[in-house]
Amino acid sequence: MDRGADLYIEYDGRRLLNLASNNYLGLAGASELRDGAIQAVQKYGASSGASRLVTGNFALYDQLDRAVAEFKEQDDAVCVGSGYAANLCVLTSLADRNTVVFSDRLNHASIVDGILLSRATHVRYRHNDLEHLAGLMDRYVDAPRKLVVTDTVFSMDGDVAHLHELVPLCRDYGALLVLDEAHATGVMGRGRGLAHELGVQDEVDVHMGTFSKALGSYGAFIAGRRDIVDAVRNFGRAFIFSTSLPPAAVGAGLAALELVRSNQDRSERLMLLSSQLRAVLRRLGFDFGPSTTQIIPIMLGANDVALAARDFLMDHGVFAPAIRPPTVPEGTSRLRLSLRADLGGKDMDLLCAGLEALAGESGR
Ligand SMILES: *Cc1c(COP(=O)(O)O)cnc(C)c1O
């Protein structure tokens, strides 16, 4: 496979519409990001050469931290090497062996690893089941420190966390609320994430997001109150003991933030395309689960059915990956469609024709 972030990929000598990438806004190839990266490389070179706490802290990096803090409307922010590293930083600097961390069962693997590394007590609640969470929080009501962590957009189902209920629950139980906005950043809430979309941004303690998905670059950020961000800077080992981002990623990240801040056309188009596609799927009798976002699963159940559907769509010029256990629970194999804002009318027609044929094939 080549050019996997582009709208069309080359696969086995075929040209396929790419619905597998997280390049949701199509920014990875945008001229503004290319220019941002090139200018940063011309000024600073290809590497930062060290951790930010040693000599790897260039003015450009402080500028990115400030731009994120402003964009997220938080006191402070710090950018780190990747989303994976950001979750390790957050969890290891805010949780310890006296902490209980409550985590949605469908949270990203980097959250799970961060909890393990923090040595906190790891309590998983059923996906988006806040009654279950409240029951578990009752059980640990005397714990010295509590933290609730959730993805805001879930990567395999495309549904969203119930923040309107999570916020008061965390307040009542004295728990910190940590959000992983990896799939919502650039997309929801004028690009700021689900917390902004729902207007609860001031009631969230930690806002984590990445530059690697809709923002079309690489790296991640942690934004919040000054004491929270200071804790990450001082105790986040994945930040302290790791070389800072390459200048190209920072230059592209700054350009992406500026684009998303000044113009919502792409994210609005993405949301429009997503609801149009769900309407088509509904008409064709496909089950897209609880999706309300640009991530749209087509639930097929058995592995071989999902694989056959993937191959069928490939024969119709569309690449939608088949997701199978252990990534998703047994018996819930699916195609996972990641829509993107740069899909034009003809591309949507190609996709809909493929889906229509698939529905006919499977006798719907
Ligand atoms: C992709 C992702 C990450 C990891 O981000 P990278 O920048 O790819 O390391 C973390 N959390 C969630 C929810 C993700 O989807």
User: Could you report the per-residue pLDDT of 251-297, keeping only the tens digit for each?
Assistant: 999 999 999 999 999 999 999 999 999 999 999 999 999 999 999 99
143 and 255 part of one domain: yes
Nearest atom of ligand 1 to the alpha carbon of 218: 7
Q: Do residues 113 and 226 share a domain?
A: yes
359 HSE (CA, 13 A, CB side): 16
214 lines ligand 1 (CB under 6 A): no
**How many CA atoms lie within 13 Å of 152's alpha carbon, on the beta-carbon side?**
32
CA separation, residue 224 to residues 71, 172, 228, 275 (Å): 12, 20, 6, 32
Report whether 258 contacts 46 (CB < 8 A): no
Q: What is the pLDDT along the chain (364 residues), one digit of tens a residue?
A: 788 899 999 988 899 999 999 999 999 999 999 999 999 999 999 999 999 998 889 999 999 999 999 999 999 999 999 999 999 999 999 999 999 999 999 999 999 999 999 999 999 999 999 999 999 999 999 999 999 999 999 999 999 999 999 999 999 999 999 999 999 999 999 999 999 999 999 999 999 999 999 999 999 999 999 999 999 999 999 999 999 999 999 999 999 999 999 999 999 999 999 999 999 999 999 999 999 999 999 999 999 999 999 999 999 999 999 999 999 999 999 999 999 999 999 999 999 999 999 999 876 6
How far does the centroid of ligand 1 lie from the alpha carbon of residue 87, in Å? Answer: 9
Mutate to test the pocket of ligand 1, among 24, 104, 213 (most ligand atoms within 8 A of CB): 213
212 lines ligand 1 (CB under 6 A): yes
The DSSP 8-state label assigned to residue 326 in this structure reads T
State the Cα–Cα distance between residues 180 and 198, nearest whole angstrom.
15
| CB-ligand 1 contact for 108 (6 Å cutoff) | yes
Residue type, 313: L
- The burial of 324, by beta-carbon neighbours within 10 Å (0-12 exposed, 13-18 middle, 19 or more buried), is given as middle
183 CA: nearest ligand 1 atom: 15
Residue 269 and residue 241 share a domain: no
CATH number at residue 351: 3.90.1150.10
Helix axes 59-71, 31-44, angle to 10 degrees: 150
For ligand 1, the distance from its centroid to the CA atom of residue 84, given in whole angstroms, is: 6
In a shared domain, residues 92 and 223: yes
Nearest protein Cα to ligand 1, atom 6:
83
Nearest Cα residue to atom 3 of ligand 1: 83
Q: Is residue 220 situated within a structural domain?
A: yes
Q: Is the CB of 220 under 6 A from ligand 1?
A: yes
Looking from the CA of 97 toward its CB, the CA atoms found within 13 Å total 0
Nearest to 160 by CA among 196, 135, 133, 136: 196
Kindly state whether residues 148 and 45 are assigned to the same domain. Answer: yes
Is residue 273 in a domain? yes
Among residues 226, 242, 262, which one ends one of the domains? 262
Rounded (5°) CA angle 153-327-310: 95
State the total domains in the chain. 2
**Claim to verify: residue 187 and residue 271 sit in the same structural domain:** no
Is the entire prediction scored with pTM above 0.85? Answer: yes
Nearest CA to ligand 1 atom 15: 182
**One domain, residues 238 and 289:** no
Cα of 186 from ligand 1 centre, angstroms: 14
Based on the fold, state whether residues 150 and 196 are members of the same structural domain: yes
Q: Which tokens is 163 given?
A: 């923040």
CB 47 within 8 A of CB 246: yes
Establish whether residue 183 lines the binding site of ligand 1, counting it when its CB lies within 6 angstroms of any ligand atom: yes
Give dist(CA 332, CA 156) in Å, integer. 11
Q: Which atom of ligand 1 is nearest to the CA of 211?
A: 7
Q: Give residue 176's domain range.
A: 31-262
Rounded distance from Cα 210 to ligand 1 centre (Å): 7
Q: Which of 66, 5, 23, 27 is nearest to 221 (CA)?
A: 66
In a domain, 346, yes or no: yes
Pick from 275, 270, 271, 22: nearest CA to 155: 22
Residue 23 lies in a domain: no
Is the CB of residue 155 below 6 angstroms from any atom belonging to ligand 1?
A: yes
Atom from ligand 1 closest to the CA of residue 85: 9
